[in-house]
């Protein structure tokens, strides 16, 4: 379900707070509050396993802003780092594109100099992508496909592939196949950006990171009950691995350079370059 509210949203860190306070963000201290008149607030409380259904799709962007630490920082880093590897005339591929938040800034910056391929399996997310990029789809600039990456892969040759919070939802036994397919469909000098939730390298560190993460979500407006119900619904659906496992995955796929460029406790982002 979702509710509407009048609030500020911080343009720096994504934190939301009531307009009864001033525009200084209580989370990061920046004077960057933008009024939000009728924002859809995520209050999904699933009873069973997590699915990317209609209600989740409706509030997905707001959900990520309140659930991913340093969300705007991560998005900006993905865009700026990824832009350095875009080659004119090639394709930018977005795996698990959801509503298109990762892909949209690349479409805006590079326009007709490149083509764009968004891949999804969720029907409501595919509908959202079709709506968002309707003009670019009509102009044959953007292509949106329903593909299950466990059994199929887009045939585009990409100078940049985005896998932002996507592989963590794929069963572990299929991830090497997907990583290898990404490598095979990357142009020389091109790259993939991988963003994942990760496990701590020890049980103590993992628990420390998880406790801090859950505390952060409560400061972003989720109740303790909502945090716990979402955690339980995601068990066995979102399967994180350690940072070193993800780095090994990219190296074994064939990428010559793998570098972490953003991390907040149990979330991390890597750039992997094909030599």
Span 57-76, pLDDT tens digits: 777 778 888 888 999 999 99
Span 100-128, pLDDT tens digits: 999 999 999 999 999 999 999 999 999 99
Q: Output the pLDDT for position 109.
A: 97
Q: Output the pLDDT for position 21.
A: 44
Query: pTM (2 decimals)?
Result: 0.81
The band of 5, judged by pLDDT with boundaries at 50, 70 and 90, is very low
Domain ranges (residues) in the chain: 1-42, 72-199+237-273
* Residue 14 scores a pLDDT above 70: no
| Structure-model confidence comparison of residues 80 and 33, the more confident one | 80
Q: Output the pLDDT for position 221.
A: 80
Q: Output the pLDDT for position 29.
A: 57
Rg (CA), the chain: 19
Listed residue (144, 137, 153, 151) closest to 122, CA to CA: 144
Phi, psi for residue 90 in degrees, rounded to 5:
-105, 180
Q: Evaluate whether 148 touches 124 at the Cβ level (below 8 Å).
A: no
3-state per-residue secondary structure call for the chain: CEEEEEEEEECCCCCEEECCCCCECCCCCCECEEEEEEEEEECCCCCCCCCCCHHHHHCHHHHHHHHCCCHHHHHHHHHHHHHCCCCCCCEEEEECCCCCCCCHHHHHHHHHHCEEEEEECCHHHHHHHHHHCHHHHHCCCEEEEECCCCCCCCCCCEEEEEEECCHHHCCHHHHHHHHHHHHHCEEEEEEEEEEEEEECCCHHHHHHHHHHHHHHHHHCCCCHHHHHHHHHHHCCCCCCEEHHHHHHHHHHHCCCEEEEEEEECCEEEEEEECC
Q: Output the pLDDT for position 119.
A: 97
Share of the chain above pLDDT 90, in %: 64
* Residue 1 scores a pLDDT above 50: no
Mean per-residue pLDDT, 248-273: 97
Span 183-206, pLDDT tens digits: 999 999 999 999 999 999 999 999
Residues found in the chain: 275
Q: Which CATH architecture has domain 72-199+237-273?
A: 3-Layer(aba) Sandwich (3.40)
- Give the tokens for residue 149: 């990456």
Q: Evaluate whether 91 touches 156 at the Cβ level (below 8 Å).
A: yes
Q: Output the pLDDT for position 232.
A: 74
Span 215-258, pLDDT tens digits: 888 888 888 888 788 777 777 778 999 999 999 999 999 999 99
């Amino acid at each position: 379900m979702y509710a509407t509210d009048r609030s500020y949203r911080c343009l720096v860190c994504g934190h939301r707070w009531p307009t009864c306070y001033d525009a200084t963000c209580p989370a990061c201290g920046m004077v960057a509050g933008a009024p939000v008149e009728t924002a859809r607030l995520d209050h999904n409380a699933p009873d069973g396993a997590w699915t990317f259904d209609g209600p989740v799709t409706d509030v997905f962007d707001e959900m990520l802003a309140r659930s991913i630490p340093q969300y705007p920082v991560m998005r900006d880093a993905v865009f700026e780092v990824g832009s350095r590897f875009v080659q004119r005339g090639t394709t930018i591929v977005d795996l698990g594109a959801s509503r298109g938040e990762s892909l949209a800034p690349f479409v805006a910056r590079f326009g007709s100099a490149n083509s764009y391929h968004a891949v999804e399996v969720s029907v409501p997310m595919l509908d959202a992508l079709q709506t968002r990029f309707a003009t670019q789809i009509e102009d044959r600039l953007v292509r949106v496909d329903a593909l299950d990456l466990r059994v199929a892969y887009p045939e585009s040759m990409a100078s940049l592939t985005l896998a932002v919070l996507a592989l963590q939802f794929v069963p572990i036994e299929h991830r090497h196949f997907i990583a290898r397919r990404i490598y095979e469909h990357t142009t020389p000098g091109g790259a993939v950006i991988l963003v994942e939730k990760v496990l701590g390298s020890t049980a103590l560190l993992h628990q420390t990171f998880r406790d801090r993460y859950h505390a952060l979500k409560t400061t972003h407006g989720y109740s303790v009950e909502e945090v716990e119900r979402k955690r339980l619904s995601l068990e066995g659906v979102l399967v994180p691995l350690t940072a070193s496992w993800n780095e090994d995955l990219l190296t074994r796929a064939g990428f010559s350079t793998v570098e972490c460029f953003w991390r907040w406790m149990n979330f991390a982002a890597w750039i992997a370059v094909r030599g």
